[in-house]
Amino acid sequence: MGQLLELLGASIIGGFIMLIGFTLNMQISDSSREIFQSTYNQRSAITASQVIEYDLYKAGYAATGEKVTQADSNAVKFRSDFDNNGTIDTIYYYTGAISAMTSTSNPNDKQLFRKINSQSANLVSVITRFNIVYYDSIGNQLSYSSLSSSVQRAKIRGMRTYVKTELPDAINNLYNPMEWREIIRPKNLL
């Protein structure tokens, strides 16, 4: 009887220890996955920011005439000799459709594209939101409706870019968003 009780007690204690171990492993595994994904997510945001920064800081460089040819909330097209080779290029940033992202469970993710002249567009990053706000020389926000006019677009002196990236698939129902926001004042628009 005594041995039976001892065996029962040891089994219960052992079971608890194993349960704790399993739980700990699961939690560590989740955290690990979350951190891995977050790092990936952060990398996506930084990559997008680096590409956008690289181009936007050069907006208007060496270009004469109209420098910003399209200015929407989620798309911008401008002229610049961005590669400094003596030829003026047209750079176009725009987002793809949410419905195009069929392989991920995130309901909001979409592709951010960068198109140079008439070349086929390149994927910059997968994002969930891409937004640009335009400012004039004294920092007043220019309305999107006004920016259909080239006269108004010529007043653009600053652009606040906003990129939000999320995980392609949720971990514990969270997509761990990462945001990048920066006001870029291209010197060649001055």
Residue 57 contacts another protein per CB under 8 A: yes
Residue 43 contacts another protein per CB under 8 A: yes
- Which span sits near another protein by CB under 8 A: 6-14, 68-76, 119-127, 128-136? 6-14
CA distance 171 to 169: 7
- For residues 81 to 120, the per-residue mask of contacts with another protein, x marking binding by CB under 8 A and - elsewhere, is ---x-x----------------------------------
- Which span sits near another protein by CB under 8 A: 15-23, 65-73, 113-121, 161-169? 15-23
For the purposes of burial, counting CB atoms within 10 Å of the CB of 53, is it exposed (0-12), middle (13-18) or buried (19 or more)?
middle
The phi, psi pair for 169, rounded to 5°, reads -135, 145
CA distance 156 to 140: 10
Q: Binding residues for another protein, per CB under 8 A? A: 7, 10-11, 14, 17-18, 21, 24-25, 28-29, 31-32, 35-36, 38-39, 42-43, 46, 49-50, 57-58, 61-62, 84, 86, 187-188
